[in-house]
Amino acid sequence: MSSKTKDEKAMAREGQERSRRTIRRVLRSIDKYRASVLLSLFLAVVTVALTLYVPILTGQAVDRIVAPGQVDYRGLVKILAKILAAMAVTAVSQWLMNHINNTITYRVVKDIRTQAFDRLERLPLSYIDSHPSGDIISRIVADVDQFSEGLLMGFTQFFTGVMTIGGTLLFMFSINPLITLVVVVLTPLSLVVAGFIAKKTFDMFRLQSETRGDLTTLTNEMLGNMKVVQAFGYQKEAEKRFDAINRRLTGYSLRATFFSSITNPATRFVNSMVYAAVGIAGAWGAIRGFLTVGQLTSFLSYANQYTKPFNEISGVVMELQNALACAGRVFELIDEEIIPEEKPGTEELSDVKGAVALEHVSFSYTPDRRLIEDFSLEVKPGQRVAIVGPTGCGKTTVINLLMRFYDVDAGCIRVEGKDIRQVTRRSLRASYGMVLQETWLKSGTIRDNIAYGQPDASMDAIIQAAKEAHAHSFIMRMKDGYDTWIGEDGGSLSQGQKQLLCIARVMLCLPPMLILDEATSSIDTRTEIRVQKAFARMMEGRTSFIVAHRLSTIKEADVILVMRDGHIVEKGRHEELLAENGFYAQIYNSQFAVS
């Protein structure tokens, strides 16, 4: 046996096991609505039983018509009344069953989507940093929608179809066991065909769902950076990437659709054989006197009723396989390892003065590439600490560790003498105010965005914070002032305006410690001078960590840390470092060199 065949078999077994796990998870999700499911099944039984009872009544009605002039009208009217009553009850039962199925489906989907979003909020930043946002969005939105469609179809057609098959066999057996045996012998052909195709379709639908996530990722990436795409003339390359992924998606979709689409004609062929066999055997039985003409009519009706669910179920197979593949991707997200819970004995960080110490800290994003090694630093309350160095030296990583977005690999970080792993993340992060180079604003009013960290702030406090950030003037020039609605990530605001709003957000909260990571990188020089003065007032008495490439903005820092390859290579005030004529002096002089 070739290695390729072994790999294919191993992949097939893995796909089957994944499918079984997904089915078990789906059933557990449905279990909390057990009462509704049982009621739905009861109504399905009523619907199927009455639907299958009608052919018996039809056969009895045919037997009441013996010959011209020999019709039992009284008996015929009674049978017709029973048929009408059965049809009315069937219609009501089916309507109620569909309503209950819809309710179950959308509640299950709501639960799963809520679980997925809840898990997303508790995932570590390492997962968010290493997975495309478009794929995550696709799992929570598109995959859950696909799952809901398949689940609804499964409820409405799959279970009633299975019941119809079982009920039809019982009714046929009650009329004539021998002819029923013919049906039972031919039935496995449909099951074998449907089972073979189902195995093939699941893997194709899984690949289709994954590729759809890749397509969403690329679209999201291009849409969010359209200015850069157009500025660098990347449109053609983006189209090529899109076309490549789109072709893959088309290939998987076509193959999945092909395998699933041949189910219906294949089962129809087998079912036609069943109908023909019943017709021939029934006609022979009627000639021999084993059956009445009415019973033969009922049998042919049952043969049609029996084969119909196979056609419906074969149509459901495609949706169910697609739904299971999508559900599997959603469950993978839900099962991702979350940020560890706070350990027992973890305490709230309170009365923060701003004493921070990093003791022999080591950290790397990947084990094979060390970034920060044996990093030590002691910051006294109220000190302004500037961190400078070339790109990739670890400046932002230090900020991530201070905020405990990532935990250190070795050593520890202390705030007020307490290891930050022994205090709650919420209380630690509430002690810091952050302004980053990458701005983020939510869809809402300007007032909502400024008050994001302090929703109960008064309007006067919000306006004062905006004035200190020098954002008040441009806000008042807008149509609705502070009630102006801005879209996702600031909408049409300039990058500088977005950054001023983010600065105002921190100035409103005034936490005991500040982190300014290129906080004024998008602001014009004149406004930057004003904002720097506001920062200087805000930093008075507060421990501040300032990351900056423009060294002119950190001259007043109490201590400047010069980082290189994850280590502090120089440390001191601006004048001291210039006097040393070392690495800092090289960086500083390069910014003011005359060409």
pLDDT at 227: 64
Same structural domain, 296 and 438: no
Shared-domain flag, residues 320 and 455: no
Q: Which residues pair with 413 in a beta bridge?
A: 358
* Residues 263 and 366 placed together within one structural domain of the fold: no
Q: What is the pLDDT of residue 459?
A: 92
In a domain? residue 351 = no
Q: Whole-angstrom Cα distance, residue 429 to residue 337? A: 22
Considering the domain architecture, whether residues 389 and 323 belong to the same structural domain is answered as no
Degrees, nearest 5: CA angle 428-432-433 = 150
Q: Is the pLDDT of residue 390 over 50?
A: yes
Parallel/antiparallel/unpaired status of strands 513-517 and 444-445: unpaired
Per the prediction, the chain carries an average pLDDT of 80
Percent of the chain at pLDDT above 90? 3
Long-range contacts of 152-156 (CB under 8 A, 24+ apart): 152/101, 152/102, 152/105, 153/316, 153/319, 153/320, 154/316, 154/319, 154/320, 154/323, 155/40, 155/101, 155/104, 155/105, 156/97, 156/98, 156/101
Domain count, the chain: 2
Count of CB atoms within 10 A of residue 31's CB? 10
Which residue segment(s) compose the domain that 492 sits in?
A: 356-591
Judge contact between 134 and 217, C-beta under 8 A.
yes
In a domain, 13, yes or no: no
Q: Confidence band (pLDDT; 50, 70, 90) for 582?
A: confident
Does 406 lie in the same domain as 271? no
Maximum mean pLDDT: which of 323-327, 535-539, 589-593: 323-327
Does residue 5 belong to any structural domain of this protein?
A: no
Lowest mean pLDDT among 187-196, 267-276, 328-337: 187-196
Q: CA neighbours within 13 Å on the CB side: how many for 533?
A: 8
Assess whether pLDDT exceeds 50 at residue 445.
yes
Q: Which residue has the higher pLDDT, 4 or 441?
A: 441
Please tell me the chain's helix, strand, coil percentages from 3-state DSSP, rounded to the nearest 5: 65, 10, 20
Task: Kindly state whether residues 188 and 281 are assigned to the same domain.
Answer: yes
Phi, psi torsion values for 412, nearest 5 degrees:
-155, 160
Structure confidence at residue 595 (pLDDT): 39
How would residue 24 be classed by pLDDT, with cut points 50, 70 and 90?
Answer: confident
User: CA Rg, the chain, in Å?
Assistant: 35
Q: What is the pLDDT, as a whole number, of residue 68?
A: 58
Boundary of a domain, candidates 301, 334, 367: 334
Residue 371 pLDDT class (50, 70, 90 cuts): confident
Count CA atoms within 13 Å of residue 236 on its CB side: 2
Query: What mean pLDDT is predicted for residues 263-291?
Result: 73
For residue 143, what are its two tokens?
């995959």
Q: Annotate 498-517 with b (16+ C-beta within 10 A) or e (fewer).
A: bbbbbbbbbbbeebbbbbbb
Three-state SS sequence of 47-101 = HHHHHHHHHHHHHHHHHCEEECCEECHHHHHHHHHHHHHHHHHHHHHHHHHHHHH
Pick from 435, 547, 550, 553: nearest CA to 498: 435
Element (H, E) at 374: strand 372-379
Query: Is the pLDDT at 538 greater than 90, yes or no?
Result: no
CB 22 within 8 A of CB 327: yes
**pLDDT tens per residue across span 187-204:** 666 667 666 666 666 677
Contacts with 586 (C-beta within 8 Å, 6 or more apart), sequence order: none
Looking at the structure, do residues 29 and 96 belong to the same domain, yes or no? yes
* 363: CATH: 3.40.50.300
Q: Is residue 410 part of a domain?
A: yes
Strand ranges (E), 158-297: none
Q: Give the list of residues 6+ apart from residue 338 with CB closer than 8 angstroms, or none.
A: 119, 122, 123, 124
* 3-12, 447-456, 571-580, range with the lowest pLDDT: 3-12
The secondary structure element, H or E, covering residue 123 is none
Q: Are residues 389 and 529 in the same domain?
A: yes
Question: Of 303, 334, 365, which residue sits at a domain end?
Answer: 334
Task: Answer yes or no: is 125 within a domain.
Answer: yes
Tell me if 346 is assigned to some domain: no
- Return d(Cα 159, Cα 178) in angstroms, integer: 27
With cut-offs at 50, 70 and 90, classify the pLDDT of residue 594. very low
Question: Do residue 108 and residue 191 come from a single domain?
Answer: yes
> Where residue 224 sits, what CATH number does that domain have?
1.20.1560.10
Considering the domain architecture, whether residues 412 and 281 belong to the same structural domain is answered as no
Confirm whether 11 is domain-assigned. Answer: no
Alpha helices, DSSP H, located in 469-524: 472-476, 495-509
Q: Identify which has the larger pLDDT, 230 or 26.
A: 26
pTM of the model: 0.67
Long-range (24+ apart) CB contacts under 8 A made by 364-371 are 364/409, 365/126, 365/129, 365/397, 365/406, 370/566, 371/397, 371/566
Q: Are residues 153 and 52 in the same domain?
A: yes
In the chain, what percentage of residues exceed pLDDT 70?
86
Rounded average pLDDT over 124-135? 80
Most confident of the ranges 231-245, 284-298, 417-431: 417-431
The answer on 394 and 539 residing in a single domain is yes
Partners of 363 in beta bridges: 372
pLDDT value of position 88:
92
CA atoms within 13 A on the CB side of 261: 6
Burial group, residue 100, by CB count within 10 angstroms (0-12, 13-18, 19+): buried
The answer to whether residue 348 sits within a structural domain is: no
Residue 248: pLDDT over 80: yes
Range scoring the smallest mean pLDDT among 15-29, 44-58, 184-198: 184-198
Cα gap 305→53, rounded to integer Å: 11
Q: How far separated are the first and last CA of the chain, in Å rounded?
A: 70
User: Does the pLDDT value for residue 534 go beyond 80?
Assistant: no
